[in-house]
Structure 1
Amino acid sequence: MAHDPLDSIQQALSRVPTERQRRLRTFRPGPDATLLPGEAGSSQWPLLDLASNDYLGLSAHPSLKAAAMAAIQSDGVGCGGSRLVSGTRPCHNNLETALAEWLGCERVLLFPSGFQANLAAVLALADRHSEVIADRLIHHSLLVGIQASGARLRRFRHNDLSDLRRLLERGAQNEPGRRRLVVSESLFSMEGTSPDLAGIAAACQEFGALLLVDEAHALGLLGPGGRGLAWGLAGVSLVSGTFGKAFGAGGAFLASDGVVGQWLLQDSGAFRYTTALAPPLAAAALAALEQLQADADQGIALLRRAQRWRDGLEAAHWRRPPGEGPVLPLHVGDDALALDLQRHLEQAGLLAVAIRPPTVPAGTARLRLVLRRDLPHGSLDRLLHALATWPHAPSR
């Protein structure tokens, strides 16, 4: 009898613990997100959304919706081809030009997703003859890109500049001719932390390494005018950004100088062999950029609010969430406890999702709280009250 080729997959599935199994649930967006029926044991009720990455509340902004609808009328819903065949539309050129001017770089290229952009970024800067030195907590998309490149991977301790310098110095001494790429993020999406990017960029210049910075969660919020923490730093080779967070749209981009940008255009299969970003998303992203430029400091109030939330959680005897941005991890540790806290908050009308391995290291399960500019007044008090009634809440 022939061996069933799916047996090994079924066996692997059976080994996934219940507390780490993923399920899809459907939500209706709005001032109060709604959990729709469909999952066993669920019913429909309003939830205050403390999980989405729409930091500035732009996804429902009238100007973004109007821009998207106008693009549908003029250019259609989809492009029907890649950028190098028939897919390029005026909205793509307009967005790339505006972003390049805003970020002070020579070239911007658009991608349908942040995952795809990160793959393209790593593959443009590293190959099997390269060494990649990456922060231990970089996004999965960057790790997949490193694996696809065939480069040798070395990892430095999270946001530890001295550990990075140690690896760079050792590499420069032992293999001075090898190309090196350093990879980090400007705001780590599960930790809420930011590195010393100026120090990282200076170290890369000192030891002759390229530097890729993923700015997905920082753009629109951190840095001068929301331009990100890599803005204006010498030594940054490539910046990856997305439109699905603070920009309130969808899609992504890579920003670089002329040489790297031209190399991407000529060599990147992730750019060449994909249908172009949908026109309504490109138009909405441009409208979001215009909103950011019209009010360059709109993220400051959100960052101040994030500090008040950190103060409140610490006063309630929770471990103070690190960082300064709008991502506040509530560390629980155990997977089952994290799921229990998620359910407890859901019963209190709060949407906060448990983040478990492999997304985070084993033993560090947490709830990822995300602040948005449009959260109603009193949201923190509502959260603290719900947390105080959880049976496993930290005591004084």
Structure 2
Amino acid sequence: MASIPPARRRSLRTWVPKPGSDRLRPSGTHPSHQGLVDLASNDYLNLARHPLLQQAAWRAIKDQGVGAGGSRLVSGSRPVHEELEAALGSWLGWKRAFLFPSGFQANLAAVTALTDRHTTVLADRLIHHSLLVGVQASGARLKRFAHNNLGDLSLQLENIRRARPSQPLLVITESLFSMEGTSPDLASMVALCCAHDAKLLVDEAHALGILGPNGEGLAATIATPSDHIHHGVTMVSGTFGKAFGSGGAFLACDDEVGDQLLQSSGAFRYTTALAPPLAAAALAALQLIQAHPHWGRELVERAEHWRDRIATAGWPRPRGRGPILPLLVGDDQTALNLQQQLEQAGLLSIAIRPPTVPEGSARLRLVLHRQQSDDTLELLLHCLAKAQ
């Protein structure tokens, strides 16, 4: 791997959370190290160390064990799995929900369940790598449309339908793109899919707990309130390692697709079930999010204030709406230098470089959390002013 340019090389760093604070200190430093304010993690609602999640996980360890010891179809199913799946289905308005140990695995299962080698997949150009791996594993034909560009998607759908009227189609998007902070016009995308008889898979990993009426994600805005039928959305995927502060993931769908997953998904049947403590913590997080539906809305409002202040300070206004604020820099080394300058001031934000983002679009991925101090914004702006 010597051919990788120095500004593109990755290295592992280990962090130790500072008790009772929003700070992380580098592993190996003295416990008295002040630590860095976390502007990097996906713990949007600050639930990872919430006492109720910790208590739920500990109870599950005592009652159900640390690990499940088997797949869900052998001996790995635990009561907490059924409770969490039922709660998710009810909350999101879907008939079925299935748990997975990781978001990568859930997305792999989702794509392979909805496609085969006869399918054409139209995917947003910036979808997560796990979804692309799913397309590759399925043998489906992949076509990409420009990021959140419904005109491009519409044209491609029309061309395919004109040439192959009965071609099975799947459209894949995310409701909140993890490196862009942007969201599609999901209602219009649903209308396009319905018009062209295309299935639609929506990855809600970064939106759940934040976007939607009460944090249910953007697909919930498409549901009919009276009967919770998701017109045009075939399946949603979501994770517990972000706003939920736990780990693992799920797929939500209707009965027919759910039975197909249960009967034929290798990614579901050939893996050890989600660890009971993680499932219990995710269930506790869901209950907290349901009890505090304003958390997501307030975080979105604060993020808009941050965007305004950053733009006023002379930087490009971070795109999108929500807690992910990409500060576009362009050059890889410049982004790394800015990361180091922020660290020296006590702020942790990671330089994101290709191939994670397109060439020439290296950036700092700033992440706002629910309990972030207002002083953090002032410190950030001070650091950015010095870097200009």
Structures share a fold, TM > 0.5?
yes
1:315 aligns with 2:312: yes
Q: Is the 8 A contact 1:212 1:238 kept in 2?
A: yes
Per-residue deviation at 1:377? 2.6
Q: Is the 8 A contact 1:328 1:368 kept in 2?
A: yes
Equivalent position of 2:227 in the other structure: none
Aligned mates of 1:342, 1:94 — CA distance in 2: 42
Q: Is the 8 A contact 1:59 1:248 kept in 2?
A: yes
User: Which residues in structure 2 correspond to 1:70-109 (within 5 Å)?
Assistant: 70-109=59-98
Per-residue deviation at 1:296? 1.3
Q: Is the 8 A contact 1:243 1:252 kept in 2?
A: yes
Q: 1:181 aligns with which of 170, 175, 195?
A: 170
Q: Could you list the runs of 5+ residues in structure 2 that have no partner in the other structure? A: 224-229
- Deviation readout 1:373-395 (Å, 9 max, x if unpaired): 011231100100011112xx2xx
Equivalent position of 1:341 in the other structure: 338
Equivalent position of 2:246 in the other structure: 249
- Deviation readout 1:151-208 (Å, 9 max, x if unpaired): 1111111001111111111111111111100000000000000000011111111100
- Deviation readout 1:278-321 (Å, 9 max, x if unpaired): 00000000000100111112111111110110011000110000
- Deviation readout 1:34-92 (Å, 9 max, x if unpaired): 12238xxxx95510000010000011111110000000000110011000000000000
Aligned mates of 1:104, 1:362 — CA distance in 2: 39
Equivalent position of 2:138 in the other structure: 149
Q: Which runs of structure 1 show a deviation greater than 6 angstroms over 4 or more consecutive aligned residues?
A: none
Q: Is the 8 A contact 1:35 1:45 kept in 2?
A: no
Q: Is the 8 A contact 1:36 1:44 kept in 2?
A: no
What residue identity is the alignment partner of 2:196? F
User: Which residues in structure 2 correspond to 1:34-45 (within 5 Å)?
Assistant: 34-37=25-28, 45=34
- Deviation readout 1:82-109 (Å, 9 max, x if unpaired): 0000000000000000000001100000
Q: Is the 8 A contact 1:134 1:184 kept in 2?
A: yes
Equivalent position of 2:8 in the other structure: 20
1:140 aligns with 2:129: yes
- Deviation readout 1:353-372 (Å, 9 max, x if unpaired): 00001100111000000000
Equivalent position of 1:33 in the other structure: 24
Aligned-pair Cα RMSD in Å: 1.1
Aligned mates of 2:111, 2:308 — CA distance in 1: 38
Aligned mates of 1:190, 1:37 — CA distance in 2: 29
The TM-score, its normalising length taken from structure 2, stands at 0.95
Tell me whether 190-199 or 25-34 shows the greater mean CA deviation.
25-34
Equivalent position of 1:128 in the other structure: 117
Aligned mates of 1:292, 1:262 — CA distance in 2: 29
What residue identity is the alignment partner of 1:134? A
Q: 2:155 aligns with which of 145, 148, 166?
A: 166
Q: 1:272 aligns with which of 246, 269, 273?
A: 269
Secondary structure of 2:97's counterpart equals: strand
Aligned mates of 1:341, 1:240 — CA distance in 2: 34
Q: Is the 8 A contact 1:53 1:370 kept in 2?
A: yes
User: Percent of aligned pairs with the same residue?
Assistant: 62
What residue identity is the alignment partner of 1:37? G
Equivalent position of 1:10 in the other structure: none
Aligned mates of 1:44, 1:168 — CA distance in 2: 56
Q: Could you list the runs of 5+ residues in structure 1 that have no partner in the other structure? A: 1-12
What residue identity is the alignment partner of 1:195? P
Aligned mates of 1:217, 1:176 — CA distance in 2: 35
Aligned mates of 1:201, 1:112 — CA distance in 2: 29
Q: Is the 8 A contact 1:57 1:246 kept in 2?
A: yes
Secondary structure of 1:319's counterpart equals: coil
Equivalent position of 1:218 in the other structure: 207
1:68 aligns with 2:35: no
What residue identity is the alignment partner of 2:8? R
Secondary structure of 1:165's counterpart equals: helix
The TM-score, its normalising length taken from structure 1, stands at 0.93
Secondary structure of 1:184's counterpart equals: strand
Aligned mates of 2:384, 2:134 — CA distance in 1: 39
Secondary structure of 2:90's counterpart equals: helix
Aligned mates of 1:223, 1:87 — CA distance in 2: 33
